[in-house]
Amino acid sequence: EDWALPQRVSPEVRDFFFDVDTCPDQLPRAEAIAKRLGRLGITWSVNAKANVPASTLEVLRDNGLRLLLVGYESGVQQILNNVKKGVRLDAARTFTREAKRLGIAIHGTFILGLPGETRETIQETIRFAREIDPHTIQVSLAAPYPGTALHAEALRNGWLESEDLVDARGEQRSAIGYPHLPRTEIFQSLDLFYRRFYFRPRKMISLAGEMVRDRRVLKRRLAEGREFLTFLRRHR
């Protein structure tokens, strides 16, 4: 699909986010679109897999790319293979290192409870997230939406313990459980993941430094921080 490229930019618009799941899979096309964006003089962000080569990252960066939203999903290769992710962990490490070198921020997303998940793989994914250290993270629960391959597999294997995917507040509920790993434990691992990633001196100092340097970031981070702590309290 084509990106919806802006033709004119209002002065108050500071950043565009293009929610395109397949970008930048087609590298020459992604680079060409980035160059068009660069001529508009805007900053922008987009989704990406964790395997974009450094040469393409550099073109995107030079034409206004600020942030990539990257679905790492898991730090365990077998789990990535189980869900046909099509990315190797060594490539994800290289990609992340190159993006950081170029000054591109990464918001990394992870999913707990995918087929093959165990207590040990959850710990492995947390270690992986801390190792590659994206700028920020989002941790979700495996969501078996009706009609998806995951839903069919969960029904077939007796993993689907609840049809409710969200609660009354609109927050995710854990619907999949395994004989060796109940869904309640998967749900509780969200709290552990966030705490072990964010409550590190290096990460807290890094985020605090951004707040000091930019008043807009300060206001946004304070609001996000309140929401984050409320989220953690509800999940204890």
Check residue 1 and give its pLDDT: 47
Check residue 222 and give its pLDDT: 65
Q: Answer whether the bond into residue 24 is a cis peptide, omega within 30°.
A: yes
Could you give phi then psi for residue 81, rounded to 5 degrees? -65, -40
Check residue 235 and give its pLDDT: 59
Q: Which residue has the higher pLDDT, 35 or 161?
A: 35
- Note the pLDDT tens digit of each residue in 45-64: 999 999 999 999 999 999 99
Residues 12, 152: Cα–Cα separation, whole Å:
46
The pTM of the full predicted model, rounded to 2 decimals, is 0.86
- Kindly report which listed range (93-107, 157-171, 198-212) carries the lowest average pLDDT score: 157-171
Q: Are 48 and 23 in contact (CB under 8 A)?
A: yes
Residue 229 pLDDT exceeds 80 = no
- Note the pLDDT tens digit of each residue in 64-114: 999 999 999 999 999 999 999 999 999 999 999 999 999 999 999 999 999
Check residue 22 and give its pLDDT: 64
- Note the pLDDT tens digit of each residue in 125-156: 999 999 999 999 999 999 999 999 999 999 99
The two structure tokens encoding residue 104: 């591109």
The DSSP output letter for 84 is T
